[in-house]
Amino acid sequence: MIVNILYFASLREQLGTANEQFNTDAATVGELLDQLCARGPRWQQALCDNSHLQMAVDQTVAHRDTPLRDGAEVAFFPPVTGG
């Protein structure tokens, strides 16, 4: 299946891309993360070593066990702070 991935803020800068279409057999966000992190150290550091990583699927807060579907929009972003 194809999922549309969005990278926001510092993740976009670290990874050098704002979005991509990714062909995956991942059933969950966690499995998708594992596949992305297997791309190399930069991906591992930005996504898997980041304990504050926030995720959303189809604009709804997601977790590693959130299921994926073909055509889903998956967003990764750092925590948002304000003041």
* Alpha helix ranges (H) inside 1-83: 9-15, 29-37, 41-43
As a whole number of angstroms, the distance between CA 39 and CA 59 comes to 25
Question: In this predicted structure, what is the pLDDT of residue 68?
Answer: 98
- The tens place of each residue's pLDDT in the chain, 83 residues long, gives 999 999 999 999 999 999 999 999 999 999 999 999 999 999 999 999 988 899 999 999 999 999 999 999 999 998 775 55
pTM of this structure: 0.92
CA distance 10 to 32: 20
Whether CATH 3.10.20.30 fits 2-77: yes
Cβ atoms within 10 A of the Cβ of 45, count?
13
Handedness of CA 32, 70, 60, 10 (dihedral sign): positive
pLDDT reported for residue 42: 95
